[in-house]
Structure 1
Amino acid sequence: MESKSVKAILFDLDNTLIDTRGAGGVAIQKTSELLKTKLGLDDTTICSICDKFKRKLLQECFDSSSGQSLDEVRVRHWEESIIETVGSCSSPSLADECYYVWKNSRLEVLCLSPEVRTLLKQLRSRYKLLLLTNGETQTQREKVESVACEEFFDAIVIGGEHAEQKPCLSIFTLCFNMLEVKAQDCVMVGDSLDTDIQGGFNAGVQATVWIKNEDSAMLDGSVTPDYIIPTVLDLPDVLAQLS
């Protein structure tokens, strides 16, 4: 597992170290059950409400200077999704209930598996490790706290706390400076071709490692990763090749 040339590893968080996609599915299922109990609607209508919420989440551009908290914005996502689907929101508190069931259910499911924890502990004894995750500050900090991963990293960088996020060079330069290493000393590991792999390429890291999930595929025009593995647990094999 040891590599003389690699000094540091930068890890993405979502769907790289933790199964955010799976946790999101559980959270939507729990919220669907709540909606069905409260509104007595059929599965198709409930699914439509949840799909609208997921679209709003993907399109979200949160502005902390707006005077609204992220929680308030996402409660509003649920309220709008219900109104757009059934014409009204029967109870003023229903959107709040939906949001907090969704949010808390997702955080409860998120975790670092014992295998991933062991891997990070082993790697930490040989390399500097940094967690580099895109996303809004509150959301990502809540995930980091929920999965209790701080002990495994020399530094944690949340994209939403900086002027630019992955794949921009500036945030990678910040990471290299924090670890006191050069780009060519580092490996970037993540599941996103657009942010993790492209960002690593832009920054000039020694190697990029793409975690290719079951539903992910290479896109035309995408940057080509140096290594492709199905799970982060296979990373030691890549590091052995780089040594």
Structure 2
Amino acid sequence: MLKALFFDMDDTLCDTQSANQKAVDWLLAELASHGDFDHEVFISQYLSAIYRELDDQLKQLTDPIKDESDYRHFVFDYFLKQHQIEPNDALMSYVALFDHKRIEFFDFYPGVKQMLIDLRSQYKLVLITNGPAYSQVPKVEQVKMSEYCDHVLIGGLEPEQKPAKSIFDKACRLADCLANETLHVGDSLGSDIKGAKCAGIKSFWILPEFTEFSAVNPESDYVADSVLHIDKVLELEAQAHHA
């Protein structure tokens, strides 16, 4: 019988992609008066770097940089120079401003707040999010996550992030449950679904391109296009428990 539910945050409970796009649109408008270069390509390169999608050369250059703010300033400067633009104070100020806009636009998907309120009356809820504290702490604070979840685990503040078993084990300890008494919900196959499986935890994979709920899937126990289908998951779990 399930006693707890674990949730990923970005693109599971919260609409990170929409927040990013709104921030990108804002930055595009701001950069319009800052030189004749391909602003869309530049922003795409910078956003990819934020998510550590780097080529070998840039990875080697940035590996020694441990501070997240320093890292973001470095790659912003790097890509400006790649576009033959000399960085200046006005341009570099957009590093912090872009971060601020991403947080300002960050919010739950419609219906998720009430879903969490309802679920919390029956289960212990634990958020497990990957990423540096630099970006994830402001996101958690922006949506007041502690008002909706009993515990919040930020990967960048833990010894290991998902898919490491240790962070799932810690979530189980916090929720006072066994691995077979919880379910993890997330959108990343590598971090969420495979991580949960290695920890002996059932999983619910949020796959936006999926068109209907299914309990038949080779990768996860359940799959759907939205976390709001969790009621179907819990109904099936209850039926299995009483069978």
Normalising to structure 1: TM-score of the pair? 0.86
- Tell me what 1:214 maps to: 209
Instruction: Give 5+ residue unaligned stretches, structure 1.
Output: 216-221
1:58 equivalent to 2:51? Answer yes
Select 1:83's aligned residue among 81, 84, 91.
81
* Count of matched residue pairs: 225
- Tell me what 1:219 maps to: none
C-alpha deviation, 1:56, in angstroms: 2.0
How big is each residue's C-alpha offset from its partner over 1:185-241, in whole Å with a ceiling of 9 and x where there is no partner?
Answer: 000000011011111101111x210001139xxxxxx96111001111111111011
- Tell me what 1:99 maps to: 95
- Tell me what 2:151 maps to: 155
| Equivalent-residue separation in structure 1 for 2:66 and 2:192 (angstroms) | 30
- Tell me what 1:70 maps to: 68
| Equivalent-residue separation in structure 2 for 1:114 and 1:164 (angstroms) | 31
Describe the SS at the equivalent of 1:38: coil
C-alpha deviation, 1:101, in angstroms: 2.7
Instruction: Give 5+ residue unaligned stretches, structure 2.
Output: 54-58, 211-216, 239-243
- Tell me what 2:193 maps to: 197
How big is each residue's C-alpha offset from its partner over 1:64-121, in whole Å with a ceiling of 9 and x where there is no partner?
Answer: xx786422321222221111112422x233112x212311111111112451100000
After TM superposition, which residue ranges in structure 1, 4 or more long, deviate above 6 angstroms? none
Select 2:41's aligned residue among 38, 48, 58.
48
> Would you say the 8 A contact 2:27–2:98 is kept in 1?
yes
Identical residues among aligned pairs (%): 30
Query: What pairs with 1:134-145 in structure 2 (closer than 5 Å)?
Result: 134-145=130-141
Query: What pairs with 1:89-128 in structure 2 (closer than 5 Å)?
Result: 89=87, 91-96=88-93, 98-128=94-124
| Equivalent-residue separation in structure 1 for 2:52 and 2:204 (angstroms) | 27
- Tell me what 1:227 maps to: 222
CA RMSD of aligned residues (A): 2.2
- Tell me what 1:35 maps to: 31
- Tell me what 1:176 maps to: 172
Q: Tell me the amino acid that sits aligned with residue 23 of structure 2.
A: A
C-alpha deviation, 1:26, in angstroms: 1.5
